[in-house]
Structure 1
Amino acid sequence: MADTYTVTEARAHLGEVVNKARHGGRVIEITQHGKPAAFVISPELLAYYQTLEDEYDIAEAHRIKADGEPSVPHAEVAARFGLKPDGRPA
């Protein structure tokens, strides 16, 4: 379960919030008006989540290719959205 702070509490105890996430491995939930507004997590946990997301995306791309589903080249998608070929804003 995540530790929970309101925005006001998190502001007043920012060092504590960061330390719990960074050194304690805790997930810190920050609420605003009683609803989740943000989470503070360690860089290591963020990297883990990003790796999982990348692995899922790669597996999904392989599945789509193996199933013969139509795909659109990255450069074409970038052009459709007015981006440079590498995906950065034009």
Structure 2
Amino acid sequence: MANKNYYMYVLLCSDGTFYGGFTNNVYRRLAVHQAGKGAKYTKTRRPLKLLYFEEFADKSTALKAEYAFKHQSRSKKETFLINHGISPSLWGN
């Protein structure tokens, strides 16, 4: 049986906010969000842009990464993205 990988991802919402999530298939999950069926938060903030994702070997680590991102201030989320090579020009700052 093949190992299943898990991902933490960050979306840029149409209102300029960030959304952090967790999945085992980033592009399928993005399509679900874009269709308005992902999360309540993203449903009214479309279109969405995938800014970042990171792969983890296990579900627990990916969920912890998602939780850590979601519970940061806006400035710390921006710092996280910059530190992971995501330019502020991609989110309109």
Q: Specify the TM-score bucket, using the shorter chain as the normaliser.
A: under 0.3
TM-score with structure 1 setting the length: 0.22
Using CA pairs under 8 Å that are at least 6 residues apart, name the structure with larger relative contact order, 1 or 2.
2
Structure with more of its chain in helix, by fraction: 1
- Report which of the two structures shows the higher radius of gyration computed on alpha carbons: 1
TM-score with structure 2 setting the length: 0.22
